[in-house]
Structure 1
Amino acid sequence: MNSSEDFHRNENGWQNSVIIIPALLSGSTLVIVIVILWKAFWRKRVKGQEAGERAGDDQDGEWAVNVAGVYEDPLGAPDPILEKTQLPQGWMIRDRVVLCSGHFGPISQAVLVRDGEDRHEVVLKELSEKCSPGEVQDFIDLLKFYVKVCNHHSLVRMMWCQTEKMPMCLIMEAMTFGNLLMCLRESHQGGITDTQGAIFSISEQDVYSMASQVASGLEYLAGTHNLVHGYVAACNVLIHEDMSVRICGLGMASIQHRTGSVPARRAARVPVKWQSPERLKEPNVSEKSDVWSFGILLYEMVTLGAPPYPDVDPAKIPRYDIMTSCWQWEAIKRPSFTDLLKQLQNGSSSADGSNALRATDTLNWAHYLHVAGIPS
């Protein structure tokens, strides 16, 4: 996608050509030249839009960019929806550590401090100062999505935002253990170590608890907001040391909330082993395709992070019947998230909460990416 500076430079060049040409040409020749220039300009604009659709993913997924937007003053009058969620006076952002580069800018771990006493571990999603005007508006739209939709205990939530001064940022609560997939892999290798050095393990009952929380969040998205997640997987779940979890990776839901649909090209980029059969034929996302992916997530949890569809005897997987109900070939035969939530809550009462889940095989990250079908 061209930068705003390049866009205006190209636009100015086009305008200068239109001014000079009438002095040199006349009649039909002038009309032909203007048509050619206009088509060239329009093709450049369309390419910019396509580039926006191809932009890379980040922790919260891809966001479709308003490349044609014109926004004069991003720090102008406060948005009424975001005004009440601005970072309060007295709070300072300290100890930034960049985790990765996201679509809008750096994603960092940080600490919020007030009066040297109150402290909150947070994750910051910042807006780069080099972004285009359209990206500024997209970032503001993303913040509004968090305000309007992410009000469920199983969805990652925005604590505050900062839009009235630069850099603009989304401030989210941090989860102690971070990404669930990484925690499953640590458990696979012997246990999860917290910041104090204590070792945690995952039991069958923990799996039921975490799965119920995820199902509850997906039920909320589908039932309350008629939204899909689109990439239900362990890599899009965050976990705290008390085994509470939050769903992240809400990029497709945020696009659907804004536009009413998920771009087919975006939906098709989810690794195929997490996609339902109907999505492989036609990249449309639905609640039932999310249910299929939820079955894959259950498999990830009970195998402590193994890639889907390896050579594993199904009889050795706990509560395999719940997974198979998610993997009904015909979408209409799959349960809803409400049904799954009831099954998981019923099964939890008899689940083993004393013994840690164990895995006898070893996991190699490069091998995982290969078997899971995820580009390295």
Structure 2
Amino acid sequence: DEESAGPLAIIIIPCLLVLSTVLVVALIFYSLHKNKERVRSRTAQLYSWEMPKECVVEELEFWQTGHYGPICKGVLKTRDGASSAVVVKSLRAEAQEFVERLLFHATVCRHQNVVRMLCCQTEHLPMYVVLDACSPGNLLHFLWTLRNFSEKSVFLVAKQVAAGLDYLVSDHRLVHGDVAARNILLGPDLSARVSGLGVAFEGRGTEPAVRQRAAEVPVKWQAPERMVMQLSIDRSDWSFGILLYELITLSPPYPELEPPAVLPKLQASYRMKRPQNCGGPYDLMRYCWMWSFKDRPAFSAVIKLLESSLHLAATEAICVPEVVDVSEYNRKAGLPS
């Protein structure tokens, strides 16, 4: 038996080595083939979003610095004379990351209350993505100039924002985390869309890239778990309550506190006081600011609450300052000037 086992092993072992080598090579070729298919699929997706030759972006004006690069306002014009206000985001990133962000916008931005991608430009530098500006534009700046924004208007805008956030969480497991008036685009008839998705990430993500994005949210809009662990929870957004406070007061959150003082105050059970002449919205704010995320309402519940409260909301205009000192506002908000 021992004499026959030796020659048998000499035959079997090389065969196994050859078989394993063939399998490894086959797997490598299969992986390369799948990668080629994936690249081809992505290229086709990007091509379908490429800006038509008859379109051009003009009247570019720097607006703000976003997570991935400068953001400009502009006008998208066609040869037939049609034009629309747009936001142009040039992505300051590696080519692969740029493609990922384009596909992110193409995949996620498919809801009436989320900023909409119109097209992109990838054939030459600078590469950029074109988003619907939803003119008249930024909700915060809109509030500063409007004189007939009422509590009922707050409910209408907040309901649409909650619907957009509910879509992000339910369909894509994305937590926004920076639901501020500056990140809401407002259109005709108070139509609202959520923007500022550069800091959004999958709920309860803890990898380094997620932690870095979480840390870039201004402190005064962050939930305590974001400040402590750079962790975000896929429940109603803490910063949604901050947005309600902004809409009611037209003031930045915690105006009396410097950013480093916010977390210790929250840990000591501090919450912003009820604004003057503020009814139902404040109760919802407090629900969003529950310390335990398990006690915060789901966005589906927030939407139902806002819908049922619309007929009770006051219609008197909220008092708006005649002059807004933007630099002072940014200082109190902990935002760059």
Q: Normalized against structure 2, the TM-score is what?
A: 0.73
Quote the Cα distance in structure 2 between the aligned partners of 1:115 and 1:250.
31
How far apart are the structure 2 equivalents of 1:357 and 1:156? Answer: 27
Equivalent residue of 1:287, what SS? coil
Structure 1 residues 322 and 265: alpha-carbon distance in aligned structure 2, compared to 1, 3 A threshold: same
Asked if residue 152 in structure 1 is aligned to residue 99 in structure 2, the reply is no
* Uncovered stretches (5+) of structure 1, i.e. residues with no partner: 1-75, 192-200
The counterpart of 1:356, out of the listed 311, 317, 329, is 317
Q: 1:125 to 1:268 in 2, by over 3 A?
A: closer
1:297 maps to which residue? 243
- Classify 1:101/1:304 alpha carbon distance in 2 versus 1 (closer, same or farther; 3 Å): closer
Task: Tell me the secondary structure at the aligned position of residue 317 of structure 2.
Answer: coil
User: Kindly tell me: are residues 126 and 275 of structure 1, through their superposed partners in 2, closer, same or farther at Cα, counting changes over 3 Å?
Assistant: closer
Aligned-residue Cα RMSD (Å) equals 2.8
1:324-335 alignment, distance < 5 Å: 324-335=286-297
Alignment partner of 1:120 is 2:78: no
Matched, 1:337 2:282: no
Give the conservation status (yes or no) of the 8 Å contact 1:185–1:305: no
Structure having the higher Rg: 2
Mapped partners of 2:240, 2:211: distance in 1: 20
Equivalent residue, structure 1, for 2:17: none
Residue type of the partner of 2:189? D
> Does residue 92 of structure 1 match 2:56?
yes
- Name the TM-score, length of structure 1 as normaliser: 0.66
| Deviation sequence 1:268-307 (CA, Å, 0-9, x none) | 232332222333332201123x522111110110112343
Query: Post-superposition shift, 1:94?
Result: 2.9
Q: Structure 1 residue 313: deviation in Å?
A: 4.7
Task: Give the corresponding residue for 1:177.
Answer: 136
Larger helix percent: 2
Deviation at residue 359 of structure 1 after TM alignment? 4.6
- 5+ unaligned residues in a row in structure 2: which ranges? 1-39, 257-271
Give aligned-pair identity as a percent. 38
SS of alignment partner, residue 87 of structure 1: coil
**Aligned counterparts of 1:281 and 1:260: Cα–Cα separation in 2:** 12
The code of the aligned residue for 1:125 comes to K
Deviation string 1:142-182 (CA, Å, 9 cap, x unpaired) is: 11001111101111111111223443221111222221122
- Separation in 2 of the partners of 1:103 and 1:330? 29
Displaced runs of 4 or more, over 6 A: none
* Separation of aligned partners in 2, 1:90 and 1:312: 53
CA distance in 2, matches of 1:164, 1:307: 43
Aligned residues: 280
The one of 181, 198, 221 equivalent to 1:251 is 198
Task: State whether structure 2 residue 217 is matched by structure 1 residue 270.
Answer: yes
Determine helix, strand or coil for the equivalent of 1:211.
helix
